[in-house]
């Protein structure tokens, strides 16, 4: 999107020209692509891509020459997980069939291969001893975030809080290569599902595509069977109607459960690299969870989940409108994770999704607003943007060019500080947050935190949050607002390499630890601060001084 870091990553990654017709391409180039267009382009690209496990030391030129016997290679890169992998995008899909034709199946006396031919290969050297001198370690693209201490160190060398937020976002956001990998996994799962449903598609949703994804986040996938129903246009001529005989079940949910159960078994039994397959079919949204070992991605496959897909598109639009949106969301999510406000384990915590909604709501409330309300986006919609899904109105404009950009010029320093101030004092006891209207409203039911689902308004996306967790969030927000205000007043010295601004907010909190009351956590937190201070101050001996609940540092022995 406009000026985003991801765009420059695209350029760095020598992106191939998209495989859409030249006419369509020229029409599209005059405007920003819509979310469905970006998705379709990436999915098509993923279908022309293979994943190859190869030796860590390899002659890159030779491997490319060897593979180009099957067709032109548009793009390739290497990465490391459990082994070294090459991701190779061919220019034509036929090249994959050609490569598969010359690929062998191997087995041993003890192990028999399940002969499912996928796009996941292993490449080895025929004569490692004679070929060794020829090989060199390949450059591997990073697929995970830097360590927190390294991040804090980097933030300390920034020159403003605003730049700290952009630094954090640049370190944490999905790279072009990681995004490609996510689409590739969807496409590999799609190959399995297409054995039963040849017209289905498997698409990523959630943070993998909504522009708020952090390296290492899970991969949410949606098995879309909708095209199957749509392709049957009723014949208007002739004296007969003809329709498929199909099994009938009482609800869409049951149909999804049955389909996911079978696809889950196929992934488990045939899908190379997919391990730990769990079928969680009784959840509110039935899913198959597994780990895709070659990419290191934790995957959740759902079906019948089109509202979540529209939610991803909506968040993508918000994230594309103004660079401050993503920077603030990344910052809030990182801050919440560091302080244990969110967790990867399900529980009474505030989720990343809820935090994103809270941040968007806050940005709608600025004067002038930084992003429009959902109702305003609906007013800009065309006829083709109209979507009613399972009775919910999911209509909003898809063309980014139609959305007027904000006149608000506030800096991220101000926005971050005000975010904490705003939610540190929000009347959670009586008000709910509603991004459709961009207004707080009376809570329809008593629960600690009420954030209306933008499309299913009777649904509270933070129903899981208990009072204790909300109190921790509020206490931390107040403490963080206080820290930023002290710095503004110049009460903290920014010299001596002491963590400041966002870096100070990512240090363990005295307040949150006392809310948790866990002495062990406090001890490990102070260990972390000590090691960080040691590295920040050239390994001088450092002591943390707890000054009445405020975070101050001393480097006296
Ligand atoms: P991370 O995975 O934590 O990075 O963020 P995420 O946005 O991907 O969240 P998650 O994996 O939990 O959920 C994936 C998507 O499902 C979200 O982006 C939402 O679109 C949708 N979703 C998650 N939780 C809810 C919920 O409580 N209600 C509804 N309606 N949708 C949800
Ligand atoms: Mg997710």
Going by alpha carbons, the residue nearest to atom 28 of ligand 1 is 461
Q: Which backbone phi and psi does 171 adopt, to 5 degrees?
A: -75, -35
pTM of the predicted protein model: 0.86
> Is the beta carbon of 305 within 6 A of some atom in ligand 1?
no
Q: Which residues contact 408 (CB under 8 A, 6 or more apart)?
A: 366, 367, 368, 369, 370
| Ligand lying closest to the C-alpha of residue 351 | 1
**How many A from CA of 225 to the centre of ligand 2?**
21
Going by alpha carbons, the residue nearest to atom 13 of ligand 1 is 206
Which pLDDT score, from 0 to 100, does residue 75 have? 96
**How many A from CA of 216 to the centre of ligand 2?**
10
User: Which residues share a beta bridge with 388?
Assistant: 393
Which pLDDT score, from 0 to 100, does residue 30 have? 61
Q: Which residues contact 492 (CB under 8 A, 6 or more apart)?
A: 486, 498, 500, 504, 552
> What number of helices (H) and strands (E) belong to the chain?
20, 18
Which pLDDT score, from 0 to 100, does residue 491 have? 52
> Is the beta carbon of 392 within 6 A of some atom in ligand 1?
no
Which pLDDT score, from 0 to 100, does residue 555 have? 29
> Is the beta carbon of 220 within 6 A of some atom in ligand 1?
yes
Q: How far is it, in rounded angstroms, from Cα 10 to Cα 29?
A: 15
Which pLDDT score, from 0 to 100, does residue 490 have? 63
Q: Which residues of the chain have pLDDT under 70?
A: 1-30, 130-133, 227-235, 489-497, 509-557
Which pLDDT score, from 0 to 100, does residue 510 have? 57
Which pLDDT score, from 0 to 100, does residue 379 have? 97
CA 545 to chain centre: 38
- For a mutational test of ligand 1's pocket, the pick from 144, 213, 217, 220, i.e. the residue with the most ligand atoms closer than 8 A to its C-beta, is 220
8 A C-beta contact, residue 354 and residue 449: yes
């Amino acid at each position: 999107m406009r000026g985003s870091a991801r765009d420059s990553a695209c350029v760095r990654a020598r992106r191939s020209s998209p495989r859409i017709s030249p006419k369509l391409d020229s029409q599209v180039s005059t405007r920003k692509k819509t979310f469905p267009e970006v998705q379709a382009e990436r999915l098509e690209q993923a279908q022309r891509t293979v994943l190859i496990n190869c030796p860590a030391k390899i002659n890159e030129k030779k491997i490319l020459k060897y593979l180009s016997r099957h067709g032109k290679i548009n793009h390739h890169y290497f990465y490391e997980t459990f082994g070294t992998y090459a991701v190779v995008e061919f220019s034509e899909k036929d090249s994959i069939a050609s490569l598969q034709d010359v690929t062998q199946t191997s087995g041993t006396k003890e192990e028999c291969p399940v002969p499912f031919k996928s796009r996941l290969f292993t490449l080895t050297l025929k004569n490692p001893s004679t070929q060794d001198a020829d090989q060199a370690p390949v450059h591997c693209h990073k697929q995970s975030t830097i360590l927190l201490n390294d991040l804090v160190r980097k933030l300390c060398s920034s020159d403003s809080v605003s730049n700290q937020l952009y630094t954090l976002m640049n370190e944490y956001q999905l790279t072009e290569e990681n995004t490609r990998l996510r689409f590739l996994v969807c496409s590999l799962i799609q190959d399995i599902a297409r054995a039963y449903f040849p017209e289905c598609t498997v698409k990523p949703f959630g943070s993998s595509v909504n522009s708020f994804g952090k390296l290492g986040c899970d991969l949410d996938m949606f098995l879309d069977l909708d095209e199957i129903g749509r392709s049957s246009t009723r014949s208007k001529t002739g004296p007969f109607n003809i329709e498929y005989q199909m099994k009938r079940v009482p609800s869409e949910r049951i149909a999804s459960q049955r389909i996911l159960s079978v696809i889950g078994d196929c992934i488990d039994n045939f899908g190379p690299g997919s391990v730990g397959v769990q079928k969680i079919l009784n959840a509110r949204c039935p899913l198959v969870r597994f780990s895709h070992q070659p990419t290191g991605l934790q995957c959740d496959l759902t079906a019948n989940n089109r509202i979540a897909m529209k939610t991803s598109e909506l968040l993508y639009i918000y994230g594309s409108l103004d660079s401050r949106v993503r920077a603030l969301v990344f910052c809030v999510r990182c801050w919440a994770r560091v302080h244990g406000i969110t967790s990867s384990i399900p529980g009474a915590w505030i989720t990343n999704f809820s935090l994103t909604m809270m941040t968007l709501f806050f940005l709608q409330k600025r004067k002038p607003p930084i992003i429009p309300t959902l109702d305003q986006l609906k007013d800009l919609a065309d006829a083709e943007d109209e979507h009613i899904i399972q009775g919910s109105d999911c209509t909003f404009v898809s063309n980014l060019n139609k959305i007027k950009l904000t006149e608000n010029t506030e800096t991220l320093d101000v926005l971050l500080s005000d975010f904490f101030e705003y939610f540190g004092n929000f009347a959670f006891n009586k008000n709910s947050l509603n991004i459709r209207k961009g207004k707080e409203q009376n809570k329809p039911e008593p629960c600690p935190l009420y954030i209306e689902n933008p499309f299913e308004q009777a649904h509270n996306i933070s129903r899981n949050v208990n009072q204790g967790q909300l109190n921790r969030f509020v206490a931390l927000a107040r403490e963080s607002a206080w820290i930023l205000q002290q710095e503004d007043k110049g009460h903290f010295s920014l010299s001596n390499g002491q963590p400041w601004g966002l870096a100070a907010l990512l240090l363990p909190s005295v307040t949150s630890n006392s809310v948790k009351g866990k002495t062990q956590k406090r001890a490990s937190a102070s260990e972390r601060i000590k090691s960080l201070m040691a590295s920040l101050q050239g390994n001088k001996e450092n002591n943390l001084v707890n000054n009445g609940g405020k975070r101050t540092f001393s480097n006296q022995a």
